[in-house]
Chain A
Amino acid sequence: MSETPLLELRGVDKSFGPVQVLRDVDFAVYPGEVTALVGDNGAGKSTLVKCISGIYGTDAGEFFFEGRPVTINGPRDAAGLGIDVVYQDLALCDNLDIVQNMFLGRERRSGLVLDEPTMEELAARTLAELSVRTIGSLRQHVSSLSGGQRQTVAIAKAVLWNSRLVILDEPMAALGVAQTAQVLELVRRLADNGLAVVLISHNMNDVFAVSDRIATLYLGQMVAQVRTTDVTHAQVVELITSGRSDSLGANGRNDGGRRRNGTVGGLE
């Protein structure tokens, strides 16, 4: 695992009028790892993601990409760095097929016409790299796909466009057991292929199944960023609900997950 974060945020503040939503937030994501972003409703997860993807500006704070300071002033800057967000609604067009969706707005041409064979081959290769076996024809309309398959297409689209950081907002919401399992495996494979992945989820099971690190927001503050091997389910739930975990050490602050707390483990 790499020691330099792909993206690092330091001291991010964000207010909407009198309401301070993010307070001095530090956050780091590493290539090849899944960082789970957890927190109760209203803790600031979505706001943080929107700051990263350039939809919201920040009031204070610094951004570093591969150690270099960068500024993100809009979605275009974020996309330029290779940051892609897959939202819950997925933003796919039901009346287009899988290949058309994956290349939407960025179609390949050969001369005057679209280069369909190349696009189909690239789409197929991307899905194969992710070991996706659940999709039959690439030419079926997205409307005919199940929830899990749609999620797969939306994620594969991000991979096709060489994203380096993919942020997934509740990708398993509203999926059944079998499809959740497939999407979890896909999330894991993204990171195993070298991408940095941020997974927002309320389901502790999904978080523990695939994450390497868990970042917990509590009332707009980052109360802990720990390695998944260092915590138990009960401790993470405690962090989410009270912002602290006694068994994790002083106020749970854990230096971006780099320092290992001696007291963790054996407690439930």
Chain B
Amino acid sequence: MRTGPSQEEIRRQNLGALLRHVHLRGAMSRAELTTALGLNRSTIGALTADLASAGLVSEAIPKQRGRGAGRPSLVVRPESARVHAWAFSIEVDRLQAARIGLGGVVLDRRELGRPRGLVAAETAPLLAGALKEMRRAVPPGTIGVGAGIAVCGMVRREDGLVRLSPHAGWVNEPIGATLATELGADTPVVVANVADVCAFAEHARGAAAGCDNVIYLYGDVGVGAGIIAGGRRLTGHGGYGGEVGHMVVNRHGSPCECGSRGCWETEIGEYALLKAADRPEAFGREAVLAVFDAADRGDARAQTAVRQVGDWLGFGVGNLVNLFNPEMVIFGGTMRDLYLAAAAQVRSRLNSVALSACLEHVRLRTPQLGNDAALIGAAELAFERLLADPLDAS
């Protein structure tokens, strides 16, 4: 016979819910927490006392007195400076490392350029170097909850092995394990695909907060999607789902680095745009932005390229809208710039290929967290364990 949850389980659940609330929404009074979580005042008081004694939150009398009579409600705020996670992001053109405090505050960060084709064995020491530097600045008495790594590549869920990162030339690289040895054996490390991580971040505290069906389209050389369906991340059996860049959209298209032909990213990725703009020698984000700039200044070749690639973007998004019926599609990475530069083509094509029922409530947005989404999302992954069980994990 199954009995109900134990007292201990309920308490853990409530502690997690309270901590998650101030982590995502920021400082708020006990009174607001009482309303938001549907718990009574004394429970909230006991929970915050527990979290405060573990050093996860602090309480203070608000600076400005409210208009109501009586003692003002104490404000509970996350201990952003004391509780932190390490976040890493391995993108095509750059490496980022950051120390991010509870509440999503970036406390310290480093950015390194990344030569194309750098293998994991060479990447890990670079990130470890940035980590060592930042570690020196960490004040004593802080709590590290772990590390999260966002990688542009396919990541096996169970152990964080990067199975394939076609544009970086990686196959089966244990980047998580390599960094874990640098971090110390007791530090938990979570690795995930960059599009999934960005989707997670925007869903938690960005443009898609409160939306349960979201597609985050991330573009650099390749294109991937982080998909949130029914409020949960959709990553598939092994964790490899969301590789929308390899949807085959053009049977007679160009060969793709994955070995197939006519994949979506061969029509909307960096190479496609640069090739269409007649700049086959150029590469990188700057080169892509230069095409948008040229188009804006009236360069006919660049304008045609932007329109053509924008049209293909609309094609794929239309298919995704029909498949997942999202309430929001977010264009991240270079897809942001492409969307904003070619919105007329994207939407015209989307409006004509998507089913009207799937289309009627979809909102097209750019990331609210900007280029920080990968780092913030990686930290969110690391914070998950703490939020699930605040007193045990810390």
Main secondary structure of the interface of A (DSSP, over half): helix
Listed by A's residue number, 18 A-B pairs whose Cβ atoms lie within 8 Å are: A131-B370, A177-B293, A177-B341, A180-B340, A181-B337, A184-B340, A185-B366, A205-B341, A205-B342, A206-B343, A208-B344, A208-B346, A208-B348, A232-B351, A232-B352, A233-B344, A233-B348, A268-B348
**CA gap between A122 and B47 in the complex, in Å:** 32
**CA gap between A133 and B106 in the complex, in Å:** 14
Q: Assuming A208-B346, A265-B356, is B351 touching A229 (CB within 8 A)? A: yes
**CA gap between A108 and B342 in the complex, in Å:** 43
In the complex, the answer to whether A268 meets B339 with C-beta atoms within 8 Å is no
User: Could you say which of A133, A205, A210 has the most chain B C-beta atoms within 10 Å of its C-beta?
Assistant: A205
In the complex, the answer to whether B340 meets A228 with C-beta atoms within 8 Å is no
**CA gap between A228 and B364 in the complex, in Å:** 11
Encode contact with B along A147-188: 1 for CB under 8 Å, 0 otherwise: 000000000000000000000000000001110110011001
A260 in the interface, Cβ–Cβ < 8 Å? yes
Set of chain A residues within 8 Å of B352, measured between Cβ atoms: 232, 265-268
Encode contact with A along B287-302: 1 for CB under 8 Å, 0 otherwise: 0010011001000000
From A178, A189, A260, A268, B356 is in contact (CB under 8 Å) with A260
**CA gap between A228 and B370 in the complex, in Å:** 25
Other than A229-B359, A230-B351, give 14 A-B pairs with Cβ distance below 8 A.
Answer: A131-B368, A131-B370, A176-B293, A177-B293, A178-B289, A185-B366, A205-B343, A208-B344, A208-B348, A209-B343, A209-B364, A228-B351, A234-B348, A265-B351
Encode contact with B along A226-268: 1 for CB under 8 Å, 0 otherwise: 0011111110000000000000000000000000100011111
In the complex, the answer to whether A233 meets B345 with C-beta atoms within 8 Å is yes
A176-233 at interface with B (beta carbon < 8 Å) = 176-178, 180-181, 184-185, 188-189, 192, 204-210, 228-233
**CA gap between A229 and B327 in the complex, in Å:** 13
B347 in the interface, Cβ–Cβ < 8 Å? yes
**CA gap between A169 and B333 in the complex, in Å:** 29
B336 in the interface, Cβ–Cβ < 8 Å? yes
The 10 closest A-B pairs by CB, nearest first: A209-B343, A232-B348, A208-B343, A233-B344, A233-B348, A208-B344, A208-B347, A204-B344, A181-B340, A205-B344
Set of chain A residues within 8 Å of B348, measured between Cβ atoms: 208, 231-234, 268
Main secondary structure of the interface of B (DSSP, over half): helix
In the complex, the answer to whether A209 meets B339 with C-beta atoms within 8 Å is yes
A237 to chain B: closest residue by CB:
B344
B284-328 at interface with A (beta carbon < 8 Å) = 289, 292-293, 296
**CA gap between A231 and B343 in the complex, in Å:** 13
User: How many chain-A residues does the 8 Å CB contact rule pick out?
Assistant: 32
**CA gap between A229 and B363 in the complex, in Å:** 10
B360 in the interface, Cβ–Cβ < 8 Å? yes
Set of chain B residues within 8 Å of A264, measured between Cβ atoms: 351
- Residue positions of A touching B, CB distance < 8 A: 131, 133, 176-178, 180-181, 184-185, 188-189, 192, 204-210, 228-234, 260, 264-268
Set of chain A residues within 8 Å of B340, measured between Cβ atoms: 180-181, 184-185, 205, 209
B371 to chain A: closest residue by CB:
A133
B385 in the interface, Cβ–Cβ < 8 Å? no
Set of chain B residues within 8 Å of A192, measured between Cβ atoms: 207, 365
A-B CB contacts (within 8 Å), total count: 75
B336-384 at interface with A (beta carbon < 8 Å) = 336-337, 339-348, 351-352, 356, 359-360, 362, 364-366, 368, 370
**CA gap between A228 and B359 in the complex, in Å:** 11
Set of chain A residues within 8 Å of B351, measured between Cβ atoms: 228-232, 264-265
Set of chain A residues within 8 Å of B292, measured between Cβ atoms: 177
**CA gap between A101 and B368 in the complex, in Å:** 26
**CA gap between A176 and B297 in the complex, in Å:** 9
A210 to chain B: closest residue by CB:
B343
User: Could you say which of B339, B341, B348, B370 has the most chain A C-beta atoms within 10 Å of its C-beta?
Assistant: B348
**CA gap between A248 and B289 in the complex, in Å:** 35
How far, in Å, is A235 (CB) from chain B's closest CB? Answer: 8
**CA gap between A205 and B296 in the complex, in Å:** 11
Set of chain B residues within 8 Å of A208, measured between Cβ atoms: 343-344, 346-348
Set of chain A residues within 8 Å of B336, measured between Cβ atoms: 181
A185 to chain B: closest residue by CB:
B366
Q: Assuming A177-B289, A267-B352, is B370 touching A133 (CB within 8 A)? A: yes
**CA gap between A180 and B292 in the complex, in Å:** 11
How far, in Å, is A175 (CB) from chain B's closest CB? Answer: 9
How far, in Å, is A130 (CB) from chain B's closest CB? Answer: 10
**CA gap between A229 and B358 in the complex, in Å:** 11
A178 to chain B: closest residue by CB:
B289
Set of chain B residues within 8 Å of A210, measured between Cβ atoms: 343
In the complex, the answer to whether A228 meets B293 with C-beta atoms within 8 Å is no
Set of chain A residues within 8 Å of B366, measured between Cβ atoms: 181, 185, 188
Set of chain B residues within 8 Å of A189, measured between Cβ atoms: 368
Set of chain A residues within 8 Å of B347, measured between Cβ atoms: 208, 228-229, 232-233
Set of chain A residues within 8 Å of B344, measured between Cβ atoms: 204-205, 207-208, 233
**CA gap between A185 and B346 in the complex, in Å:** 17
A189 to chain B: closest residue by CB:
B368
**CA gap between A230 and B350 in the complex, in Å:** 10
**CA gap between A229 and B292 in the complex, in Å:** 24
B342 to chain A: closest residue by CB:
A205
Set of chain B residues within 8 Å of A268, measured between Cβ atoms: 348, 352
B360 to chain A: closest residue by CB:
A229
How far, in Å, is A201 (CB) from chain B's closest CB? Answer: 11
**CA gap between A178 and B207 in the complex, in Å:** 20
In the complex, the answer to whether B362 meets A229 with C-beta atoms within 8 Å is yes
Encode contact with A along B77-88: 1 for CB under 8 Å, 0 otherwise: 000000000000
**CA gap between A229 and B342 in the complex, in Å:** 16
Set of chain A residues within 8 Å of B368, measured between Cβ atoms: 131, 189
How far, in Å, is B374 (CB) from chain A's closest CB? Answer: 16
Set of chain B residues within 8 Å of A231, measured between Cβ atoms: 348, 351
